Amino acid sequence: MNANSPKTTSLSLRSPSDGTRRLRERQDLQRLLRSQIETVSPNTLVIAEEFSQWEDSNRRIDLLGVDKDANLVVVELKRTEDGGHMELQSIRYAALVSAMTFERAVEVYSDFLKGLGDTAVDARDSLLEFLEWAEPDEDRFAQDVRIVLVAAEFSKEWTTSVIWLNERGLDIECVRIKPYRDNGRILADIQQIIPLPEAEDYRVRIKEKQQRERAARTFRPDFTKYDVTVDGRTLEHLAKRAAIYTVVQHLIGKAHSPEQIADAIPWRRNSLFRVAEGELDSAEFIARQKMDAASGGRSFEERRFYCADDEVFHYDQKTYAFTWRGVLPFHHDARHGTDEQPGRAGDSVRGHRPVHYAGDAQRKCNSRRPEGRCPP
């Protein structure tokens, strides 16, 4: 069977004698896809069925999933011969779930597992394992919503609408499922109608290009500076992450544990600190983290942490390194007013920046002068 040939799968129905009719019934088809979602949406984890947990709406998503790229997946089944306004309905659903966070997805998935009677699976651990993440990353979760429409037939009017919507940035797939009988078994011929399999690679490249262009247009580095007063002493002109580190440093100095601080920021609870047993110096701490990572533990990038000798924290016979993910921290020295330099995530530069850095004035000038020139 070549890569573009239809997929055929054997389906187990409650009543094989009436399988063809029953397969078209919503309950049976939905039940089958719930357990075999890879037939219409590969690399997807179903986290909810008949999802309707939102305010001011009684609408229900047939199946809600998450794919390996941490995007949400809305799967809608065609209920009538004409399909109604299924594509518009699915867009409405996608908009309703688009703001879902990782933590909310864990709650939804937990409810789904309980409804199936599967109490042995931990929803958070299962979702993290599926995404191959060591810890939650809200910045990467649900950056997009994919839509998968499933039906026995798609009219020309319907496919034309979907193609037009996809050309304008949406991600909608149409999958046709046709049941038939074979020696007492009910089989389903499953074909992806939109996008055509042979055009999938081209479509993915175009979408990635559009996403890069959109990210470039919307990226706005945060150059806001903060003044932080601690015990009557004010540290001026700190970048956000340096300001947060200064506050954390003060709290730990006042006997607040790193765990208490992390609990106060639940959306970063698992990523705020990296910890090692024992009171270690910087070199020992870094070596321990890299050794743990090499043994299959969480990955460790030194440049993302405040882990110099004067930056790590020692508390309760443990060593902690702080991070505020998104921008790579510089070594912060409050005594000399130096702090981290804002930049894109992934920058590898480390260093100091004086408080009255000339670049600040240059940026302010550029923001006022479209031509980007400043007077001498």
pLDDT score, position 206: 64
What is the per-residue pLDDT for 193? Answer: 86
User: What is the structure's pLDDT at 197?
Assistant: 61
Buried b or exposed e, range 259-284, using 16+ CB within 10 angstroms: eebbeeeeebbbbbbbebeeebebee
What pLDDT shows up at residue 250? 94
- Taking the C-alpha atoms of residue 171 and residue 165, their distance in angstroms, rounded to an integer, is 8
| pLDDT reported for residue 55 | 61
Domain 7-218 has CATH 3.80.10.10: no
Give the closest residue to 153 by CA, choosing from 178, 173, 171.
Answer: 178
**Residue 60 CA, distance from chain mean position:** 23
Nearest-10 crossing angle of helices 123-131, 102-115:
120
Q: Domains of the chain: which residue ranges?
A: 7-218, 225-368
Of 38, 162, 51, the closest CA to residue 96 belongs to 51
- The whole-number pLDDT of residue 80 equals 53
* CA–CA gap between residue 76 and residue 93 (Å, rounded): 9
pLDDT at 187: 76
pLDDT along the chain (376 residues), means of 10: 42 42 58 86 93 73 93 84 68 91 94 90 93 90 93 84 87 86 76 72 64 62 85 90 93 95 86 94 95 84 92 96 63 39 33 38 38 40
| CA distance linking residue 233 with residue 246, whole number of Å | 12
Helix, strand or coil for residue 204?
helix
pTM higher than 0.85: no
Residues 6+ apart with CB under 8 A from 243: 226, 228, 235
pLDDT at site 163? 87
As a whole number of angstroms, the distance between CA 326 and CA 49 comes to 34
pLDDT of residue 182: 75
